[in-house]
């Protein structure tokens, strides 16, 4: 400003960019205020109560009849029956926080991107892809001890717990996470000392391991003393240089970071101890749509940022949620605004009961091209396919071959499993009628795979 307090007049040269409209700054407009009062069950809840993580956990909805009670008068009963039918067919149990429920647009819930992620509707289900398996990434096959997947040379995935603050319809670990359902009897990954000790012993015995992902389930559901124990045991291992706690929690219950001081202190203490030892401890979270990010999300991220905690985001590409250039661009910009660095966008894994949410590899490529260059490189996510069968994360452009007609892409992972070939399969309903007819005939399946393998590598 000049001495009069007025903004200076900028003399624009021939290379000056045109002024931006308000839509260019939409990522800064975060939902604030007592928006939860729109839900009849929460109309009388004050802010202090709504921000209490214990109240959020206590009032988390775990049954369709509780959902009906909370939404009484907002949606027709037929919608609740449709959701109940969806959960009867889904591999994941219902678990939705009051905060998350308050963010859904109940005037048009069928199309709402948050409803799509957490509340299945029986009328929307599509048949599972015939090449789908319950543990499509073969995490158990690559586990030398229960709950520890060692796939990459220097990194392992430690599944410390089998519960989450909410349950996502598209969960890759529906084979283990949450309660048994009508469709799936879960593999047990309870937080037991004996199982953890086996994992710690294995990690310490492998000098090549330097990087650990502490996941589950969800690190949000770890007690404060468990955060301390896991963090310190990993920091005390000379071979471990970095690890990260993975959690969906920030997206669905920022109240924990804001009001669970004991848990927050345990996390920060581990981060600070790691820093003093020259080791990185980070926090990885999972926002999928810009409407999940509110002023309360930013307050939680601000608290983490003030304590020097690095937060990165790993999103999943979901049909009807973030599969347009507009929705993905807004998500990436809003994540950067709140200091949650966009890290990965995953092609939706082949997950039982979630076929209506998957997109094509071509869609991921298109979005990756559109997002690149719209913001700084370190805030631009890498779009990846986690190759079914245990091939690990591959850049979406790095396939050997891709038959868009049959939806089959061919992948190799020379640093992970040299000599092996992996296949990803686009959702059948997104293919041509001729390709859909071929997939309807089991005798055609191997022929289509062989055709994809015969395509010239690029």
Q: Write the pLDDT tens digit of every residue in 301-333.
A: 999 999 999 999 999 999 999 999 999 999 999
Q: What is the mean pLDDT of residues 339-351?
A: 95
Instruction: Write phi, then psi, for 140 (nearest 5 degrees).
Output: -70, -35
Q: Is the pLDDT of residue 412 over 90?
A: yes
Can you give the residue ranges of every domain in the chain?
Answer: 35-124, 148-404+413-419
Q: What is the mean pLDDT of residues 429-444?
A: 98
Instruction: Write phi, then psi, for 90 (nearest 5 degrees).
Output: -90, 150
Q: Is the pLDDT of residue 215 over 80?
A: yes
% of the chain surpassing 90 pLDDT: 77
**Sequence-ordered list of residues with C-beta below 8 angstroms from that of 3, at least 6 positions apart, any chain:** none
**Sequence-ordered list of residues with C-beta below 8 angstroms from that of 263, at least 6 positions apart, any chain:** 222, 223, 224, 227, 256
Q: What is the mean pLDDT of residues 39-68?
A: 93
Give the 3-state secondary structure percentages of the chain, helix then strand then coil, rounded to 5. 40, 15, 45
Reduce the DSSP state of residue 32 to 3 states and report it.
coil
Confidence label for 91 from pLDDT (cuts 50, 70 and 90) = confident
Q: Which residue bears the tokens 């369709």?
A: 64
Per-residue pLDDT of 163-173, as tens digits, reads 888 888 888 87
pLDDT of residue 7: 62
Measure the CA–CA gap between 146 and 171, rounded to whole angstroms.
19
Per-residue pLDDT of 355-407, as tens digits, reads 999 999 999 999 999 999 999 999 999 999 999 999 999 999 999 999 999 99
pLDDT of residue 186: 40
What's the pTM value of the predicted model, to 2 decimals? 0.93
pLDDT of residue 373: 95
Confidence label for 10 from pLDDT (cuts 50, 70 and 90) = low
pLDDT of residue 181: 55
Q: What is the mean pLDDT of residues 285-297?
A: 98
426's tokens: 């686009």
DSSP states of 226-272? HHHHHHHHHHTSTT--EEEEE-SHHHH-THHHHH-HHHHHHHHHHHH
Q: What is the mean pLDDT of residues 267-286?
A: 98
pLDDT of residue 6: 67
Mean pLDDT of the chain: 92
CB 135 within 8 A of CB 73: no
Measure the CA–CA gap between 426 and 406, rounded to whole angstroms.
8
Per-residue pLDDT of 105-127, as tens digits, reads 999 999 999 999 999 999 999 99
What is the CATH superfamily name and number for domain 148-404+413-419? Aldolase class I (3.20.20.70)
**Sequence-ordered list of residues with C-beta below 8 angstroms from that of 453, at least 6 positions apart, any chain:** 401, 410, 421
């Amino acid at each position: 400003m000049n001495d009069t307090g007025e903004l200076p007049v900028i003399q624009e040269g021939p290379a000056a960019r045109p002024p931006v409209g308000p839509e260019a700054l939409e990522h800064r407009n975060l939902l604030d205020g007592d928006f939860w009062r729109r839900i009849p069950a929460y109309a009388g809840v004050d802010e202090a109560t709504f921000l209490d993580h214990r109240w959020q956990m206590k009032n988390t909805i775990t049954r369709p009849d509780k959902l009906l009670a909370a939404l009484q008068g907002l949606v027709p009963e037929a919608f609740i029956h449709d959701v109940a039918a969806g959960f009867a067919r889904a591999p994941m149990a219902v678990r939705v926080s009051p905060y998350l429920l308050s963010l859904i647009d109940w005037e048009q819930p069928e199309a709402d991107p948050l409803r799509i992620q957490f509340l299945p509707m029986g009328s929307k289900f599509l048949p599972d892809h015939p090449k789908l398996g319950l543990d499509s990434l073969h995490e158990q096959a690559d586990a030398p001890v229960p709950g520890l997947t060692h796939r990459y040379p220097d990194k392992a995935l430690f599944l410390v717990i089998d519960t989450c603050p909410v349950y996502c319809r598209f969960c890759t670990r529906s084979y283990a996470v949450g309660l048994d359902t009508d469709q799936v009897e879960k593999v047990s990954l309870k937080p037991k000392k004996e199982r953890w000790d086996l994992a710690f012993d294995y990690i310490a015995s492998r000098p090549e391991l330097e990087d650990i992902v502490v996941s589950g389930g969800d690190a949000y559901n770890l007690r404060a003393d468990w955060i301390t124990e896991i963090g310190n045991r990993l920091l005390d291992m000379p071979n471990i240089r970095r690890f990260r706690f993975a959690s969906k929690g920030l997206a669905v219950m920022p109240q924990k970071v804001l009001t669970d001081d004991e848990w927050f202190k345990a996390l920060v203490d581990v981060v600070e101890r790691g820093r003093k030892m020259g080791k990185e401890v980070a926090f990885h979270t999972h926002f999928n749509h810009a409407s999940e990010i509110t002023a309360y999300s930013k307050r939680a991220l601000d608290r983490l940022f003030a304590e020097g905690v690095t937060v990165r985001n790993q999103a999943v590409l979901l049909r009807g949620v973030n599969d347009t250039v507009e929705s993905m661009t807004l998500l990436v910009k809003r994540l950067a605004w709140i200091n949650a660095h966009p890290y990965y966008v995953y092609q939706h894994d082949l997950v039982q009961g979630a076929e209506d949410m998957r997109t094509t590899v071509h869609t991921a490529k298109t979005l990756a091209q559109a997002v690149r260059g719209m913001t700084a490189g370190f805030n631009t996510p890498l779009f990846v396919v986690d190759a079914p069968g245990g091939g690990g994360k591959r850049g979406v452009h790095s396939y050997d071959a891709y038959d868009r007609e049959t939806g089959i892409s061919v992948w190799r992972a020379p640093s992970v499993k040299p000599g092996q070939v992996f296949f990803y399969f686009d959702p059948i309903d997104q293919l041509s009628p001729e390709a859909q007819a071929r997939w309807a005939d089991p005798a055609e399946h191997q022929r289509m795979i062989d055709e994809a393998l015969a395509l010239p590598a690029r």
